[in-house]
């Protein structure tokens, strides 16, 4: 019976050593490569001022330290070269660095999740806490606490070759219970709970941000839709071509040898305003009316003629011939004297019709103007 038990123990020991040989090496190599890549990535200049990157960089450093302090002795034990089984100092140092590094690793991940919660918060004060200086302080203070907290390892752990299956172990029930409980709480239980809490809070913040962004997008889309049909300007137009029955006007044109286009409706008197309500109300109040304006002078430059009128007590210029320039440019040239001296004439009363110009429909004439043009067309044909 005893021989069978001894054989089983021997087989398990051999199996354990082979596992340490075959599995520890690739884990150590791949873990080293992965952590070094993380350290290099999070050490880049673009990430240096990001608190979350600082936490991840130090978490990778602690992960590398935990990997070597915890795995090297197992790898060496497969070749019967593990000195921690016979040297008390190495045994204590191994667990001191291992416990400290894995604890710091887990808490740095907690800080990273906490930083994600802060950075996604809608509260400005909370977002301001996410700063590199605070990240460095947290890392420093946590490292000091860890260094002091695990000093007990130097009193609790001993090395004994005759102890099976672990030769480097925690002696006494008090030390063993304390180390098991602190490892469970400090490394496993508490960090996992905190990361879960901060993760849920971060998800909640992101959802709130999503709803806020969606609300802003809806407002912008509504504003964009409104702007698509926004009124650019309003004003008065004078349909000169249809005023063939105005004797004073026709006499003036004949004396001045003026011929004009059939689509002369562009008036320099127009109103612009950022407030769409103001422009809309201006047009709505006048669209069913006809305002009487007065032609009082004209300007000539070769074949181009510009008429000067006033309506509502304000003057504006009407392009009367073949000029291809926009009304604003015409007004500037008239004021600068490019069209020569003003040619005065008797005040001729002319009907002025309100209009509006929006982005969707372009030029929109009033019903009164449409009615007037239809009446004048009938007069032409009779």
- Residue by residue, DSSP assigns 54-87 as HHHHHHHHHHHHHHHHHHHHHHHHTTT--GGGT-
Looking at the chain, the domain(s) classified CATH 1.20.1070.10 span 2-224
Location of structure tokens 């926004």: 230
pLDDT given at position 65: 92
pLDDT given at position 346: 83
Please state the pTM of the whole predicted model. Answer: 0.57
Angle between helices 88-119 and 132-149 (to 10 degrees): 150
Tokens of 94: 């191994």
CA 219 to chain centre: 16
**Hey, which residues does 354 pair with through a beta bridge?**
236
Q: What is the DSSP string of 212-250?
A: HHHHHHHHHHHHHHHHHT-EEEEEEE--GGG-TT-HHHH
pLDDT given at position 167: 67
Q: Are 63 and 98 in contact (CB under 8 A)?
A: no
Rg (CA), the chain: 44
pLDDT given at position 265: 46
Running along the chain, 382 residues long, what does each successive block of 10 average in pLDDT? 59 70 82 92 86 92 89 74 77 88 93 91 84 92 91 82 67 83 87 93 86 70 58 78 78 76 51 72 84 84 78 70 64 80 85 82 82 83 72
Which residues make Cβ contacts (< 8 Å) with residue 57, sequence separation at least 6?
38, 39, 42, 43, 47
Angle at 334 between CA 330 and CA 337, to 5 degrees: 140
The residue among 372, 353, 375, 376 whose CA lies nearest residue 364 is 353
Element (DSSP H or E) covering residue 377: helix 367-381
Location of structure tokens 């990361």: 195
pLDDT given at position 196: 93
CA 31 to chain centre: 36
Cα dihedral 115, 118, 120, 124 sign: negative
2-224: which CATH number, 1.10.150.120, 3.40.50.300, 1.20.1070.10, 3.40.605.10? 1.20.1070.10
pLDDT given at position 223: 56
| Rounded distance between C-alpha atoms, residue 198 and residue 117, angstroms | 6
Location of structure tokens 């004021």: 335
Q: What is the DSSP string of 289-340?
A: --EEEEEEEEEEETTEEEEEEEETTEEEEEE-SS--S-HHHHHHHHHHTTT-
């Amino acid at each position: 019976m005893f021989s069978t038990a001894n054989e089983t123990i021997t087989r398990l020991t051999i199996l354990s050593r082979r596992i340490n040989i075959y599995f520890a090496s690739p884990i150590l190599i791949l873990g080293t490569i992965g952590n070094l890549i993380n350290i290099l990535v999070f050490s880049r200049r673009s990430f240096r001022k990001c608190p979350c990157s600082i936490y991840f960089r130090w978490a990778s450093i602690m992960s590398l330290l935990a990997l070597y302090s915890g795995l090297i002795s197992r790898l060496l034990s497969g070749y019967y070269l593990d000195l921690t089984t016979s040297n008390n100092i190495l045994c204590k140092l191994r667990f001191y660095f291992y416990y400290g590094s894995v604890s710091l690793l887990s808490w740095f991940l907690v800080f990273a999740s906490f930083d994600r919660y802060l950075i996604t918060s809608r509260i400005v004060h909370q977002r301001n806490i996410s700063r590199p200086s605070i990240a460095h302080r947290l890392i420093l203070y946590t490292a000091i606490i860890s260094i002091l907290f695990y000093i007990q390892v130097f009193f609790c752990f001993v090395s004994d070759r005759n102890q099976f299956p672990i030769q480097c172990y925690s002696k006494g029930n008090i030390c063993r219970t304390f180390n098991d409980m602190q490892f469970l709480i400090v490394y496993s239980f508490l960090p996992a709970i905190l990361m879960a809490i901060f993760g849920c809070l971060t998800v909640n913040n992101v959802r709130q941000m999503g709803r806020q962004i969606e609300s802003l997008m809806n407002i912008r889309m509504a504003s964009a839709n409104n702007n698509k049909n926004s009124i650019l300007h309003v004003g008065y137009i004078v349909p000169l071509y249809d005023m063939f029955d105005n004797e004073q006007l026709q006499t003036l044109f004949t004396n001045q040898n003026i011929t004009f286009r059939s689509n002369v409706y562009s008036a320099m008197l127009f109103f612009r305003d950022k407030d769409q309500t103001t422009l809309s109300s201006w047009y709505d109040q006048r669209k069913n009316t006809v305002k009487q304006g007065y032609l009082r002078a004209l300007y000539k430059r070769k074949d181009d003629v510009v008429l000067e009128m006033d309506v509502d007590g304000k003057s504006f210029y009407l392009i009367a011939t073949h000029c291809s320039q926009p009304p604003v440019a015409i007004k500037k040239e008239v004021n600068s004297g490019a069209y020569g001296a003003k040619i005065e004439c008797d005040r001729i009363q002319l009907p002025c019709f309100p209009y509006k110009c929006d982005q969707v429909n372009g030029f929109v004439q009033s019903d009164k103007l449409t009615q007037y043009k239809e009446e004048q067309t009938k007069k032409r044909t009779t």
